[in-house]
Structure 1
Amino acid sequence: MRHTWRWFGPVDRVTVRDAAQAGAAGIVSALHHIPTGAVWPAPEIARRHEEIRAGGLVWDVVESVPVSEEIKTRTGDWRAHVANWAETLRRLADSGIRTVCYNFMPVLDWTRTDLRWETRHGARAMRFDLPDFVAFDLHILQRPGGAADYPAALADEAARRFAAFTPDRIADLGRNIGAGLPGSADGYTLDQLRERLATYDGIDADRLRRHLTDFLSEVVPVAERVGVNLCAHPDDPPWPLLGLPRILSTEADYRAMLDAVPARANGVTFCTGSLGARGDNDLPAMAARLADRIHFVHLRNVTREAATTPCSFYEDEHLEGGTDMVAVIAALLAEETRRRAAGRADADIPMRPDHGQEILDDLTRGAQPGYPAIGRLKGLAELRGIERALSWRGAAA
């Protein structure tokens, strides 16, 4: 696999040179300062390439070109936004980009209740606490009809939690849950979040899935023509939130998307952390069965705190948690071997060590939550070790 590293641009407190020293060969980045729905200007794309080259690496993957809420709901200026999204693909392809990641999660991107939760050995990690999230939904956001979405026992526990919340905890939950895309300045106040949720009235999972298919039917042919692979990131966490449908949480969800628009350019970002939050997702089997359409890989691990879906979970060390990372990497390496034999230009699948725990000097650096320097370096080293061992064993056989 091609080892990459997410970089949020010049504001990132982890530099491109840091990424190179950690062992990355390429960078995953985006133009977070461009408004969602607008075309990315060619000079800004060129500037990002130059910034990355100045640090000694190259820009391999865009993560992400945001899909606007107007596109997801097919309201407002959605037609112009689709056209702008397609034009951005053309400009990225002209600059040499061949892989573009995006997501189709309504309103909220990845959602956590805690961005720097203290682990057993003093590291800091991101966490999703289910009762705290329900307390936010029912008692802070006060979403109409929200109580019907939860079992009585969970709602009761959420009420007990809320009764013990301090003003600081209430404010933290609002900030953490209402945060926008990683690296962006977007986010929602409680009133803005309520307004956004209202735009999804009448949009269930089937309708949202149709909107995704319609979007892909327009942009995938453009991606094919310019030689770009598109890859949809899974829902994170992989279940409905705040009454919103989520449609990329399971293998069946992905199969429906891939079958609806069967071009190879329509593919998957295989994120083991997002998908791994569901105990019924068999990640090694999914990696093997979806392999031909996996264009980008995020490798991280989570520990689920219950066997149910949904559940509380936290982001564990890369080789801990519930995912058999050795089996997942073996499936991906087998796919790369098949691609090389077939002469595919995309035989080397870009991978990045996703997220990471803040350890050692990370604890005072103040980097983007989930994207520390040393925690990701450690994860990348462990993942590279697995890959090297499996590759050596395969060559020896």
Structure 2
Amino acid sequence: MKILVIGSGGREHAIARKFVESNAVSEVYCLPGNPGMSNNGIKPIKIDITNFKDIANFARENEIDWTFVGPEIPLIAGITDFFQQEGLVIYGPSQAAAQLEGSKEFAKQIMKSANVPTADYRRFTDYQMAMDYVGMEPFPLVIKANGLAGGKGVVIAQNHSEAKHALNSFLLQHQYGTTEVLIEEYLEGEEFSLMAFIDRNKVYPMPISQDHKRAFEGDNGPNTGGMGAYCPVPQIPDDIVTMAIQKIVQPTVDEMVNRRIPFMGILYVGLILTKAGPKVIEYNVRFGDPETEVVIPRLKSDLAVVVSQLLQHKEPVLEWETEGITLGVVLAAEGYPEQPLKNIVLPGLEDFKPIVDKIDFAGVDTVKNELVTSGGRIYILHETGSDIVDAQKKVYNLMTDFEVPKTFYRLDIGYRATVK
């Protein structure tokens, strides 16, 4: 098979590398990809991810068997529908189904209809009405931009001043292009991520993971796209995961089928274990990042075969590693997430070859034959240990082997699993 992966980050690197490992696959292209992927034999193709016509032409001309979509932007823009109209095979939800991530209001409607537990909320487009509501509610409050924000459009306001600043950014300055917000009750508990392969009303869950959104140790600093993750999450009981699948994931996809917008692809459910049980924080309609980089290495099955089976509506053969813990740490450029430095010179690609199976590149490019940074998150290093402490030790030893000036990373990824 020839496979095309759409995207350029660490998530897509992890997915494409898994495809390269398959005996059923002859070539893997990643569009636009990044230079770091070439160490694994992945072929980057410089086409914009929203240029559906050129992507489809590339797939046809290169006899791609099927295309896998990594990021949310092309899915929400309708790439799956476009490919299917062109007679091309693609794995990912339709534009209508992708509203689960594209519209937080739509997601809330689905949850309400499916009786899925989540936070109470109100929707606002008017700044003053939102401020009036804030004045009547107890803090903390969760304020979300209703749209795509790269995992950063959420503010947990601890007081009136922080709420005012968030609402000003979202409704008056239209940060992230938003024109409306959701104001939710604050839920307390342990967060975790549950991803699953979905074939209409059939759910094939992956092992759960937990990421770290805040930029700095102790979950301080601004929200980011994620500074690291680990899988599985030993402090979340198996019966809670089973409950989440039965009471949340299954009713969600059943409701989508009932609405005649069946979901086909990867469903990511961000969950929080409250005193009342697991509740939904958010849906994503694709693999999470950086969760993918620690979940996919634990898949013993052939991912290319799994996706092929799903595309044929067959039950996939899924076998997961059950021993140990896989942990990944993100290296980020100074200034991330607000204004990350760019063009920081990195070690050469040759220097990274000894760890090609432990590194997923994200925000990198080549300038004058040098590997340099091009985004906030540069790469993620991951290791598997016998337990969380062993995994941390291995990863952080690896991080110190590849120290880069003008960058930073969190030193406490996985700390929640070590708290007794």
TM-score between both structures, scaled by the size of structure 1: 0.35
Pick the structure with more helix per residue: 1
TM-score between both structures, scaled by the size of structure 2: 0.33
Pick the structure with more strand per residue: 2
